[in-house]
Structure 1
Amino acid sequence: MAADQGGMEDRISSLPKNVVDHILDCLPIRDAARTSVLSSKWRYVLAEYPHLVLNKQFSSAISRNRLPTQFNNDYVYIVNRILLQHFGSILKFVIDLPELHSVRFVDVDQWMLFLSRKGVRELTLDNSSPNHYKIPSYVFFCPDLIYLSLSKCILRAPTAFEGFSKLTRLMLKEITFGSSVLNIPQLVILIIRNCTGIHLLNVSAPLLQKLTLYDNDDVELSHYIICKNLTYAYLALSNGTQHRRQGERISLAELFGCWSLLSNAYFDGRFLKFLAAGTVPESLPTKMNCLRQLILFRISFDLDQTACILCLLQSSLCLEKFEIWMNSNVNNGVEVLNYLEEPSRMNQTFDGLETVTIRYFSGSKPEILFLKLLLACSPSLERVSVEDDEKLPMNERLRIAKELMRFCRASPKAEMTFQSLITKST
């Protein structure tokens, strides 16, 4: 270590600023604060450092050996001190709110006001408190924001809010929405998970490329159907969502006719049922020429889901990877069995399909018929991996394996493996 004393060379203080910033990036803020004793030139390095990360590690260090009331007071005092002693811009601010009493949210409001005047570009607020934190209006008027991540908050945009003009990534988790119109012209990535009041949120993001809507209390796709640049979609509905607002549903053909550039799709069975309102065509009017990967989960093989799956497979001419995660309750209804056994099903062709994986396979009749159909109609198929449910008895597993191996295959290169999920994990 070089020091000012004794005429020793102070090499560390001559490092370029970007190198110093990188060093501080790798340190917990408590250790970063201790760098002030390295030399006189480092005394105010943290006070000028543009990235402040007050994460769980930071709050855990404060909470050690403190009672809840003392911790609340000390935590707020320390954060206040860090911010008030900081001068210059704060480009990145990460805070994980510990279990603060709701009366302390007034102090959090002041931190947000302070940040709004510091040119913040990246803001992450994870709330671990029992109560939701209401995002103050100051956050909406941070003109330089390019990244915003919020959890367990109440979000209602001010009426005077014109939009986030520079925001490119928005992550929202466990948010309760009030009536909000978010105009985000540069947004590329949007993630909304486990949120309520979705019908009150109106997002305008014409350049969106990646969209995740996972287990929210409702689904509103009309705001995203105009996203012509979308390449990635992860869409899953919470239990019961598919029964709401049936007159406003967007059909399978309408949705994929707009998302023609989609290359990676992750859908759950509830979302497929949502899209199946009305008649599901055997093939989409517009082929999905860009779709390379299709992952489906929570699949029970009811008639709606099965019709949607076959429609997507027949419409995806360049699909390379297809994966299904089965639900524990597979539908064995007469309707879906008759549908899969119709002779016309064997006239379908799933061109381009190379890899198929089925997880939590239970050996039900719909699953068997579906696999038979895939093998018979996929001329480019190279690998089929079937991973059975761990509860499946050994004699039943052997019976199913023998039946699968006898099925005709359109592709002479198709290889099939049949194994237990436990066997794979070990």
Structure 2
Amino acid sequence: MEGSNQLPSSASSQDEKCTLSQGYAIFQGDKTLRYSGPDLPKDIWHHILSLMPLRDAARAACVSRGFLCSWRCRPNLIFTKETLSLEQNRKHRVRKGDKTCAFASRVDHILKNHSGIGVKRLELSICDFCGIKVSSIDRWLQIAITPGIEEIILLLPSNYMEMYNFPLSLLFDGRGSSIQYLDLMYCTLRPTVGLGCLRSMAKLCLSDVCIMDDELVSLLSKSFALEELELRYCSEIICLMIPCLERLKCLTVFECINLQMIKSNAPNITTFSFYGDPIELSLGESSQVKELDMSCSDVPNFICYSITKLPYIVPNLISLTLSSVNEGINTPTVAAKFLHLQRLEICLEADKAMPPEYDYLSLVSFLEASPVLETFILSVYQYDMKHDSVSEEALHMREMPEHKHSNLKNVMILGFCSAKSMVELACHVLKNTTSLKSITLDTVYDCYDVDKIGRCYTTSAREIGECKPLTRQMILEAERGSMAIERYILGKVPSTVELTVRGPCVHCHDIRRAKTRF
């Protein structure tokens, strides 16, 4: 089987004598060995083979007629370059055209020998094969989409977005009534009015899909079981209108560049992720959103916008993550409150450098606006450092004694620098937070450190060399940040508070090899 384009279509004459209860034959040279496996019901054997990877299941079908029957009724059809053994081999380079032909040939062979019965999941990932014919994709879907199917994942190359129209007609006649998950990438979707074939669909993901406002409304209006909706790079959508879907809980909208408004009548959305330019947002008079993740990469001063607008739009937030590029205006003090907010994460990133006059201490306004806040994470990443480092002449630190944070327990500042206002922010937290349990000051913001567990030298889970590369200037600033912590902060940490200080990686951030710029 290894390296062969042909997967089993029939059992050999010797294998025909082997049933599931009789076991299977193993051939070693001229000898034939027989193994009597346990006498199990057919449905259990079918289930065992369904859990095996595609290639292993195909091999098993070569040694037993019973296994062959299971192969022909395999419920999970996952066609990727990995499952079809088309990974790039460094020793044997294969031309793209040959790999495309091999992919199409293997999928054709498998589906021609599949009974079409019992398919639960179909994943067709053609991202790396631009030469697949549209007629072949239609034929494969026609065979695999049968009554009872629950998941359809179709991932096409980018040039198919306007070229391939997903055949919704395949979902009629009861074949779409069992679908729970539909994931499409790089295609066109043109639902018709009154489409009611997806009444069991719980999750819908559309990425780089051509679908217009009214067409999406038509699709959603009949998807009464929908719980998760994810839209990525769908450029035809201008106004996203979400009907009254009572089960919808999670909404993700990512870089839909022409989107101007989101208006939702779904009463129970609790998790909302939005990435793009600021838009008109209406989530209902009493929004139930508890977790919000927002990023506006092309609009400056988004943090300032958020503290003035979001308390009115999403008043019941428990967790809030905000990402801003090129923040230049200090965060204002506002009367509005996030009355239920327990976790706040603010990510500041600058194309070049944060303005030297930017006041990190102004972020205390967010802490003040969140009376029950327990966790605060600040991440700062900048390519250049333009601020003035805190110095002996600047020993006088500003204090804001009127701002007390009685519930704050855990604080992390990633990308801690030597800017005076950054040092003042850390000192303020230590002095005005009576319930504080831990504070982490990391002089490097490592976006690869997703779990915030440390550099590669502090955990066996990561290999050496995986830390984010730093310029020489960044490493020098990290050292200045460490000196500022030691000089101005260390002595102010109460005995009841656990302080963690992290610096550059001793393996990855060697200043002798660091570049001046990337």
Is TM-score (shorter-chain normalized) higher than 0.5?
yes
Offset of residue 387 of structure 1: 0.9
2:235 to 189, 192, 196: 196
Q: 1:184-213 deviations in whole A, cap 9, x for unaligned?
A: 443333444455344354444443434444
Corresponding residue of 2:103: 75
Aligned-pair CA distance for 1:59: 4.5
* In 1, Cα distance between equivalents of 2:58 and 2:191: 36
**Would you say 1:112 and 2:141 are equivalent positions?**
yes
Other-structure match for 2:264:
223
Tell whether 2:418 aligns with 1:363.
yes
Q: Show the counterpart of 1:325.
A: 379
2:339 aligned partner, one-letter code? K
Structure with bigger gyration radius? 2
Contact 2:76–2:119 (CA under 8 A) maintained in structure 1: yes
Choose the corresponding residue for 1:418, options 458, 479, 501.
501
1:158 to partner: Cα distance = 3.2
Q: Return the letter of the residue paired with 2:200.
A: K
Q: Does 1:400 align with 2:426?
A: no
Structure 1 residue 255: deviation in Å? 2.5
Number of aligned residues: 404
Please say which of residues 56-65 and 147-156 is displaced more in the overlay.
56-65
Match of 2:512 in 1: none
Aligned with 2:56: secondary structure?
helix
TM-score by length of 2: 0.64
Checking the alignment, whether the CA contact within 8 Å between 1:372 and 1:407 is kept in structure 2 is no
Q: Shift of residue 125 of structure 1?
A: 2.1
Post-superposition CA distance 1:6-37 (Å, at most 9, x none): 9967425625634642444232x233122222
> Shift of residue 89 of structure 1?
2.4
User: Which residue matches 1:100?
Assistant: 129
8 Å contact kept, 1:13–1:39: no
Q: Describe the SS at the equivalent of 2:226.
A: coil
Alignment of structure 1 residues 55-204 onto 2, 5 Å? 55-61=80-86, 67-87=95-115, 88-101=117-130, 104-128=133-157, 130-132=159-161, 133-138=164-169, 142-162=176-196, 164-179=198-213, 180-181=216-217, 182-183=220-221, 184-204=223-243
Give, as a single letter, the amino acid of the residue that structure 2 aligns with 1:143. Answer: S
Within 5 A, what are the aligned runs for 1:4-83? 10-11=36-37, 14=40, 17-18=43-44, 20-27=46-53, 29-61=54-86, 67-83=95-111
Unaligned 5+ segments in structure 1 are: 334-340
Partner of residue 3, structure 1? 24
For residues 475 and 203 of structure 2, the distance between their equivalents in structure 1, rounded to whole angstroms, comes to 43
Aligned residue number for residue 403 of structure 2? 348
Please give the alpha-carbon distance, in whole angstroms, between the structure 1 residues aligned to 2:165 and 2:363: 41
Q: 1:295 is matched with which residue? A: 345
Number of the residue aligned with 2:334: 282
Matching residue of 1:338: none
**1:316 positional shift:** 3.9
The answer to whether the Cα contact below 8 Å between 2:438 and 2:498 also exists between their aligned partners in 1 is: yes
Give 3-state SS (helix, strand or coil) of 1:381's partner. Answer: coil
Q: CA RMSD in A?
A: 4.4
Percent identical among aligned pairs is 15
Pick the structure with more helix per residue: 1
SS in 2 for 1:323: strand
Output the TM-score relative to the length of structure 1: 0.75
Aligned residue type for 2:109 = R
Q: 1:281 to 1:398 in 2, by over 3 A?
A: closer
Measure the CA separation in 2 of the matches of 1:145 and 1:11. Answer: 36
C-alpha spacing 1:323/1:103, structure 2 compared with 1 (3 Å) = same
Counterpart of 2:275? none
